[in-house]
Chains A and B, each alone.
Chain A
Amino acid sequence: MEPLDDPNDSNDPNDPNDPNELNEASKLYKTAIEADIKPVVELKNVDLVYVTDREVLLALTGMNLNVHSGELVSLVGPSGCGKTTLLSLIAGLMFPSRGEVLVHSHKVNGPSPEVGYMLQQDYLFPWRTILSNATLGLELTKRLNNDSREMVIELLEGMGLGNTTELYPHQLSGGMRQRVALVRTLATNPDLLLLDEPFSALDYQTKLQLEDLVVDTLRQRGKTGILVTHDLSEAIAVSDRVIVLAAKPGKVRTIYDIPDNIRLAQPFYAREESGFNELFHEIWRDLETLDGRGE
């Protein structure tokens, strides 16, 4: 993703990796851990090794991460830093080679209805109507009945999709389809949402609208969210914390706490808040040094 402004235009004289600043950030993070008794997601010394016929690849190493209830955390980093792998671990689609992944203090041993997953594209099933796409999760978890179907219809109506229930996915625009995918994810009522670049396939305008919708929805329902994104300004605008990952092997490099004025604003307006550009450039430089290091 390109920066909105040229990073060289910034006349911020500070060193991007100013030690005081980093200490402050990690101190804030520590108090958050102490205040919260049980994080929703805990990764403890997670290593993940991919084994193929040709090679063994260390995808993630020494990964420690806590995500607290109601928090929205973004993961950014160069490709190959294991962002999607990390989500798969939390979703229970993959298991760590070493270390532990806990959700609600329970070791993850498979997909669970508490965790919702949203993919890069909508992946609505073309042979199902919108309503039956949205109720897929309920169907699979054997919770589909008249009440839950009614609830899904209300969810669809709440997102302006009330008159599409009997249509097929190809009859809807990309933004509408991604909203249906959001309803499909929310229908099983997960309290943790894993968002794997859900806005990346959309045009810019739709993407901004959907960011607002997703953030509003998560906040109103008190859900916890982990967002993987390539778009740094999106990461800053929507989340409470931005976690920069280093690649090859993937590990946490820096954690940025987003100031209140930015994180509490709607994503669309957050981009205009004071301090947004400075933070953007700071993280941008962090990412650039990462790119310089990679082969």
Chain B
Amino acid sequence: MEGGSEPLTGGKNMDAEWINEKWREHTKNKKVSSRLVWSTQLAILIACIVLWELAGRLRWVDVLIFSYPSKIGRQIVNDALNGELWPHLAMTVGETVVGFLLGTLVGTLLAVLIWWSPFLSKVLDPYMVVFNSMPKVALGPIFIVLFGAGFTAIVITTLSITVIVTTLVVFNSFNEVDRNYIKVIRTFGGNRRDIFLKAIFPASFPTIVSTLKVNVGMAWVGVIVGEFLVAKIGLGYLIVYGFQVFNFTLVLSSLVIIAIVATAMYQLVVYIERKLIRER
């Protein structure tokens, strides 16, 4: 949404008051409608929380399984205050950030490699199709045996989910770059390296940044599943632990924290994306 109180073109050369009035009316309508959306969203959230709280306190549902918001809130505040939450949170966030950055990087590099060598691209094609089709988390136990029960195995599980998809998406965007940009480079005598660095890569850069956005979500899947399998620390571990001791308040409070942190991370990537490709 544009800020400011004067229309972009109208203010300068059209001084008729009624034209400016039109614009103010438009802005006002827009503000009203966005406020309506926002307040409805808030109302739904509050209604859900209140209903859940009532359902829990009035024993409409089994509190042992469903808990209720004030109990979850207390759990989170206590864990945060006595410091038990932070190592888990730090570990999970660390694994996720490393997983999605590395996944995007490795996936992009692999895409560059197969773009560079059409032969390699043809050779690898069936392997990539098979690997892309299978549920990668099924490889989790193998990664644990190979890399030990810890950070490395979890990051590798995350990579197995993100890398091939990134490669396919980025490679596809390399191939969709208008041939005429390549022709421009070639007419000046540019080689394959010039074509890549001056045309293909900058043209595909927005796609690469947007795979970062997709990979945030997928990295969370990889990390949580990885932690389910092996970890002694992390939010995924807290969920499994809470489940084993039948403390569903702990499970749900971990879920709430994951929801908040994952959204924050996603918004951060969206913000970075906007910064990086603003001038286009």
Contact = CB atoms under 8 A, between A and B. Distances in A.
Contacts of A136: 184-185, 188, 198
A110 B186 CA distance: 9
Contacts, number: 55
Chain A contact surface mostly = loop
A139 B184 CA distance: 13
A112 B189 CA distance: 6
B180 A119 contact: yes
Contacts of A123: 178, 180-181, 183-184
B189 A93 contact: no
Task: Report the contact-size class of chain A (Cβ under 8 Å from the partner).
Answer: 20 to 34
Interface residues of B, number: 19
Interface string A109-151: 0111101110111010111000000001101110000000000
B189 A111 contact: yes
B10 interface: no
Contact of A127 (B184, B188, B189, B202): B202
A149 to B, nearest CB: 16
B190 to A, nearest CB: 5
Chain B contact surface mostly = helix
B183 A140 contact: no
Interface string B175-203: 00010110111111110001000110011
Contacts of B194: 140
Shortest 9 CB-CB distances between A and B: which pairs?
A117-B187, A140-B188, A137-B188, A111-B189, A140-B190, A123-B180, A127-B202, A123-B184, A111-B187
Given A112-B189, A119-B180, A125-B181, 12 more contacts: A91-B187, A93-B187, A113-B188, A116-B187, A125-B198, A125-B202, A126-B280, A127-B279, A136-B185, A137-B188, A168-B279, A168-B280
Interface of B: 178, 180-181, 183-190, 194, 198-199, 202-203, 205, 279-280
